[in-house]
Amino acid sequence: MESRILEVDGWEKVVQFTDQETRLNAIVSVHNSNLGSGLGGCRIRKYASFDDGLADVKNLSRGMTYKNALGGIPFGGGKAVVFADPYTEKTPEMMRAFGKAVDSLNGFYVSAPDSGVTTDDIHEMRKSTKYAAGVVDEQGRGGNPSPVTAYGVWKGMQAAAAHALGSGDLKNMRVSILGLGAVGMALAEHLHEEGAKLIVADVNEQVLAIAKDKFGAVVVGPNDACAQEVEIYAPCALGGAINETTIKRIKAKVIAGAANNQLQRPGYDGVLKEMGITYAPDYVINAGGVISIGHEVMGDWDRGKLYQALDNIAVVLTRIFDRAVSEDTSTGIVADTLAEEIFRN
């Protein structure tokens, strides 16, 4: 295994690891460790170039610094990328070698699943390091982050509705959900139980049929989910749901969804503010999964404590909404400022 420090201004530690035998080529990036070890997922992807992977891991690890700070967990921001096709090139040996690379940092970075990484991969990593999380332990603690992410989004949505619509009770509210995957479907379930009226869109016919059947949801095309006559729009598919085409078409008063990087451009939260739309910053509302993983790493994963921390997402969001009003600024700017106040002090 070879390692090479990459000097990156503004990031505490960025290291490339290569291992000829297993064909591992990875970068681990810790943006900031003021609050603790850099915690964040490992993404396995065939990047077009080394620079693409480096740019991705830098941005992602920086994002984790902000997410973990506002998520109230004692971790800094870290992330890793592995340059490989997760379907054709990833092997258990490669995952164990990645675990060794993580281990060599002695806990400065703690890994977890991201796109391209399965629970099996985490189990392989854990054969070489204790600094990988996101699995259920022998006592049934920890595990799948998606249901907890969905719970946090649901609570955050209630907080956003309370702020923007005068009531956090979602009964009879109309919610349009784009993306009924692991998080979107679990969110739909919470909303249905609460009595919300659902409009759903996905590219997968199977999940649409389930939502129609179980929740009486109305199905629309993926391009039209943003433009529905609803109180709340919940982007839960890929990034960039709020883009130059969709932003003009949004009729909802609240945007509260699970997807990462919902805004195609950084200033769009300001545009939404001008449109009178309350936007729940994505990295705040979707932090449930990493909060759970953080509790798992701290070794004190407990259902009651976890759900208290998830409920706190709504408290943090309310603080953000109120401060955005009092400072006449966007929710994204307030979220970043609040996070910086936490991790820079």
**Site for ligand NAD, rule CB under 6 A:** 145-146, 149, 178-184, 201-204, 207, 222, 236-239, 258-260, 286, 289
Q: How far is the CB of 282 from ligand NAD (least distance, A)?
A: 8
Q: How far is the CB of 145 from ligand NAD (least distance, A)?
A: 4
The answer to whether 123 and 281 are in contact (CB under 8 A) is: no
Q: Extract the tokens encoding 148.
A: 């907890």
Report the SS3 class of residue 2. Answer: strand
Q: How far is the CB of 208 from ligand NAD (least distance, A)?
A: 9
Q: How far is the CB of 45 from ligand NAD (least distance, A)?
A: 13
Question: Is 253 annotated as catalytic?
Answer: no
Report the SS3 class of residue 85. Answer: coil
Q: What is the 3-state secondary structure (H, E, C) of 226-258?
A: HHCCCCEEEECCCCCCECCCCHHHCCCCEECCC
The answer to whether 278 and 321 are in contact (CB under 8 A) is: yes
Of 162, 134, 161, nearest in space to 288 by CA: 134
Residue nearest to ligand NAD (CB): 181
Residue 243 CA, chain-centre distance (Å), reads 19
Is the dihedral angle over the CA atoms 162, 167, 169, 174 positive or is it negative? negative
**Identified catalytic residue from 13, 58, 67, 79:** 79
Q: Which amino acid is at 312?
A: N
Q: Which residues are catalytic?
A: 79
